[in-house]
Structure 1
Amino acid sequence: MEFLHLSFDWTTALLVLAVGVALVHVVPWLLDPHGIRSYPGPLLAKFSDAWLGWVAAQGHRSEVVHELHKKYGTFVRLAPNHVSISDPDAIQIVYAHGNGSLKSNFYDAFVSIQRGLFNTRSRPEHARKRKIVSHIFSQKNVLEFEPHVREHIRTLISQWDRLYELGKKGLSGTEGEGGWQGKNGRVWLDCLPWWNYLAFDIIGDLAFGAPFGMLHACADSAPVAISHEAAMKNYGDDAAPEVEHFPAVQVLNSRGEYSASMGVLPPHWRPLAKRIPWFRRGNQAVQRLAGIAVAAVAKRLSAPSDRTDLLSKLQEGKDDEGKLMGKPELTAEALTQLIAGSDTTSNSSCAITYHLAANPHVQEKLQAELDAALGDGDPVATFDQVKRLPYLEAVINEALRIHSTSGIGLPRIVPQGGLTAAGQYFPEGTVLSVPTYTVHRDKEAWGEDADLFRPERWFEHDEKTLQRAFNPFSFGPRSCVGRNLANLELLIIIASILHRYHFVLEDPEKHFDTREGFLRKPVECRVGIKRRHD
């Protein structure tokens, strides 16, 4: 009898728990406090954030949401209090200056050292930080960084020239060098690691005063501070912090997937989710990525320099009260620059390479423009030489559109008084987002062939119509402050590399695979490289 009594109690407890969980999710749906019950979407998404959490963890959120918009139309309910709006005009409403909308608690999952410009949710604090940081990325200041950018492109060219010469002899190389093999007059390799090495070395040089040395070592490795607290406490001392080395690109990728998945879960779920092995490993990546910034800042400050770079300008930045950034804030902003400056440049460079290799006629047309502008001089272009090349700009813009490095809809909380977007009113507290991946494929804006890579569309359509649906750097007060630097880097990188080399795909039938955390990242891009004019 005692056994039966215990069994009954256990069954009852499970039943009560199940009923409680059901009520927690069903009651809000019945009450419908934000008036969004009628919007279509996956059944589970109407009742729980778990659906979006699962989709985010699978690494293809943008594609899944895009298919839902194709099925349901302009509005899709992604979570109990989250509506996705696939209307280009909604960009300038949801993300507009002065509309009062705030970032949602999605961004809490991206905080490690302390809140920075990217993940702060406070409007006054964001305004303060943006005032300090934005002037650093003015066009005038960005031009001061050009020599450093060109130096690392030169290193990449020297490495690819070395592999090309070896490849012509039929030799092959290591995984760190992209698993290269020489045959048929080309060197065949995965170019993605090389774009990662270039982007990390550039941003390491600009943000911390020295590159990570990935291009020279042909390896993904960066020093990580073992103790964040000890390293920041000793900032400015002669001794460098105690570090260990980890693969930075891998850490960055893991961190993005973890934070993007954790961020869509309700805050009260997150402590429990962190106990799951996959999330636990992701949280470790968050700490290691922060440790890269801590170690780099500590190393730079242990040997003061009069060198002009992002960190030196951050150190000089003052708020309205004339106050400088404290050590944790300085490091958090440096970390933001590391993440934003490496990920977007490498992903976009790789996507551009793929689309040019997959579209030979586009590559030839671009190279004709580059040959006329650059001639036979220095293999590394200058910004002045390439800043007004229309087809180069169209190629880059088209790749940013079709690849959509930042493809997910960035969530915003509707402010007091509500918002009307795409003809529908949403009350205060509703979470809205506009999916860049889907807007970049809007056929009314881009034409019936919106799914295709075709730079010529930038000369055929009304510029205002295209710009209204073009959102690679977000919009409004929270848009990317580093777009001037990103533009300079991509123009010089693509012009220099495409002027020197010709690319073909190793397997033309293979799809360009990506995996998405916060950003959509290529998985691999195997190409054959041949030096032009040999």
Structure 2
Amino acid sequence: MSNPSLVSLLITPYTILLLFVLYYLLPYLAKTHWLFIPAPFPAAYTNLWLLWQARRGRRFLAVNEAHKKYGKFVRIAPNHISIADDGAIQAVYGHGNGFLKSDYYDAFVSIRRGLFNTRDRTEHTRKRKTVSHTFSAKSIGQFEQYIHANIELFVKQLTKLSQTQRNPKTEYASIDALNWFNYLAFDIIGDLAFGAPFGMLEKGKDVAEVRKTPDSPPTYAPAIEVLNRRGEVSGTLGIIPGLKPYASYLPDSFFSKGLEAVENLAGIAVARVSERLKPEVMANNTRVDLLARLMEGRDETGAKLGREELTAEALTQLIAGSDTTSNTSCALLYWVLRTPGVMKKLQEVVDEALPERVKVPTYAMLKDVPYIQYVIQETMRIHSTSSLGLPRQIPVGNPPVEICGRTFLAGDVISVPSYTIHHSTEIWGPDAEAFVPERWAPERLTARQKAAFIPFSTGPRACVGRNVAEMELTCIVGAVFRNFEFVLEQEHDMETREGFLRKPLGLAVGIRRRAV
């Protein structure tokens, strides 16, 4: 009988089991300074726990529940600590700390890296310099004409619906408000970012042209559905970005359909930029919109954005400026309707601020009306469209950093969960789960609350489009409550699902035209 080979001696059920254990144990033990930080099982040993929560669309809730159970510091992955302390916000996201975006953002790259997903500090500085002038006060003032025109069409279409679909018994027409806020937000960002609306308000449905390359024949796809799928799959693959090249082969169709959505969303940007850059269009163009400003932008060397980079940045604007606005508008209507007295007060302050014949207000008419801003801010707090903790990595060579009494080392990934901070009773008081617009009155708002409010993040990576978003939301709120009355028709709470952003799944309301 021959002697057993060395390989057969080494490959036994016990060695396989040992390798399996070491595969998960070593990442845990490698972070000796984290050994006593609690974690939901098995998050300390594998990224699969966080991947599973993201796949279910409930990452923000799972992390929030973990903080309630384990406290301020929670290990949500072998190399990721979530810090539920507002004292960590500036340390993690503020200017001058030099922290980088983690590899989570690699999953969001499609055409090429843009301002949102670039991780290199020098490249980000170059891109931000090129793009930031797009959102100057002067530029934003010029954008309002396009926002206003689409809100006018929105009011016209809802007026028609409220009349043609009115239930004689209730006097209200039944609609899914989310759909119409989606159509409005997409048409506005289409107008701003690509030179023309998508036509969703006009058609009353979700459709957009797609081109794989500038010269490809057009196909069509539901842009809102595509954007939702893209956010969900990218937010999930960001947990294990190395999985992205193989994700379409996974048995779960969530991944293959999501990656198809990534391609379609990029194709929408390619199609719209190609249309805008046609010589005959450019020759007669007098528009002053986001794309025009992006085409004017130059970096420190005087170089403009190339076509591919221009398309990538236009895609970023499409993503950042569409469902963020529709999510917030929908959540605002929901919380206003379920909170007694808020709709009536909103209508009163809007009516008081507007001249009698004005149905669609300008931003200047409403921007200084306190109660409108209180309602918008309270919606962004309690709904938290960006609910997850945006992950940051301490760069190689960085000295140890102390945050909230704990030491973190180069290579560590840390985040501050927005939803948990925005719902903290320690910060916001015992009524943190209630919708209370009045908490934003200057005499009630504390310095701590003001600093802990981060719907647009903070620091060098904060949302560059914040001022456009605030203008848009203010004008939408004014137009909606100037022209319509609503009743909540669903008995259950508004359901949401998280991708990169937290998205309402629908909002059944009754609508009728106001007599003003």
**TM-score range relative to shorter protein:** over 0.9
1:67 equivalent in alignment to 2:65? yes
How many angstroms does 1:319 deviate by? 0.6
1:31–1:324: structure 2 CA closer, same or farther, 3 Å change rule?
A: closer
How many angstroms does 1:15 deviate by? 6.3
Query: Aligned partners of 1:252 and 1:531: how far apart in 2?
Result: 31
- Indicate the residue corresponding to 2:352 in structure 1: 372
How many angstroms does 1:266 deviate by? 5.4
**Which one-letter code corresponds to 1:219 in the other structure?**
K
How many angstroms does 1:463 deviate by? 4.2
1:252 equivalent in alignment to 2:237? no
Query: Aligned partners of 1:106 and 1:424: how far apart in 2?
Result: 23
Instruction: Name the SS for the 1:456 alignment partner.
Output: helix
Contact 1:356 1:503 (8 Å CA) reproduced: no
Contact 2:163 2:512 (8 Å CA) reproduced: no
Instruction: Name the SS for the 1:405 alignment partner.
Output: coil
Count of aligned positions: 503
| TM-score (norm: length of structure 1) | 0.91
Gaps of 5+ in 1: 171-181, 235-240
**Which one-letter code corresponds to 1:125 in the other structure?**
E
**Which one-letter code corresponds to 1:21 in the other structure?**
F
How many angstroms does 1:419 deviate by? 2.0
Instruction: Name the SS for the 1:44 alignment partner.
Output: coil
Query: Aligned partners of 1:38 and 1:445: how far apart in 2?
Result: 26
- Indicate the residue corresponding to 1:178 in structure 2: none
Report Cα offsets for 1:295-335 as digits up to 9, x if no partner.
Answer: 00001111212311111111111111111111110000000
Matches within 5 A, 1:259-298: 259-265=234-240, 267=242, 269-276=243-250, 277-298=253-274
How many angstroms does 1:274 deviate by? 3.7
Matches within 5 A, 1:117-516: 117-168=115-166, 170=167, 183-225=169-211, 227-228=212-213, 231=214, 241-265=216-240, 267=242, 269-276=243-250, 277-302=253-278, 303-304=281-282, 305-415=285-395, 416-459=398-441, 461-507=444-490, 509-516=491-498
How many angstroms does 1:14 deviate by? 7.1
Report Cα offsets for 1:236-265 as digits up to 9, x if no partner.
Answer: xxxxx5210000000000000000000011
Query: Aligned partners of 1:431 and 1:379: how far apart in 2?
Result: 49
Query: What CA RMSD, in Å, does the superposition of the two structures yield over aligned residues?
Result: 2.0
**Which one-letter code corresponds to 1:153 in the other structure?**
I
Query: Aligned partners of 1:65 and 1:338: how far apart in 2?
Result: 28
| TM-score (norm: length of structure 2) | 0.94
**Which one-letter code corresponds to 1:123 in the other structure?**
R
Report Cα offsets for 1:149-183 as digits up to 9, x if no partner.
Answer: 01111111111111111133x4xxxxxxxxxxx65
**Which one-letter code corresponds to 2:495 in the other structure?**
D
Query: Aligned partners of 2:400 and 2:310: how far apart in 1?
Result: 36
Query: Aligned partners of 1:135 and 1:122: how far apart in 2?
Result: 21
Instruction: Name the SS for the 2:249 alignment partner.
Output: coil
Report Cα offsets for 1:436-484 as digits up to 9, x if no partner.
Answer: 0000012122111101111011125334222111000001000000001
**Which one-letter code corresponds to 1:61 in the other structure?**
R
How many angstroms does 1:30 deviate by? 2.6
Contact 1:354 1:525 (8 Å CA) reproduced: yes
Query: Aligned partners of 1:431 and 1:68: how far apart in 2?
Result: 17
How many angstroms does 1:18 deviate by? 4.5
1:57 equivalent in alignment to 2:49? no
Contact 1:86 1:434 (8 Å CA) reproduced: yes
- Indicate the residue corresponding to 1:110 in structure 2: 108
Q: Which deviates more, 295-304 or 114-123? A: 295-304
Contact 1:48 1:80 (8 Å CA) reproduced: yes
- Indicate the residue corresponding to 1:95 in structure 2: 93
Query: Aligned partners of 1:14 and 1:107: how far apart in 2?
Result: 38
How many angstroms does 1:20 deviate by? 2.5
Query: Aligned partners of 1:183 and 1:146: how far apart in 2?
Result: 39
Query: Aligned partners of 1:193 and 1:336: how far apart in 2?
Result: 22
Q: Percent identity?
A: 49
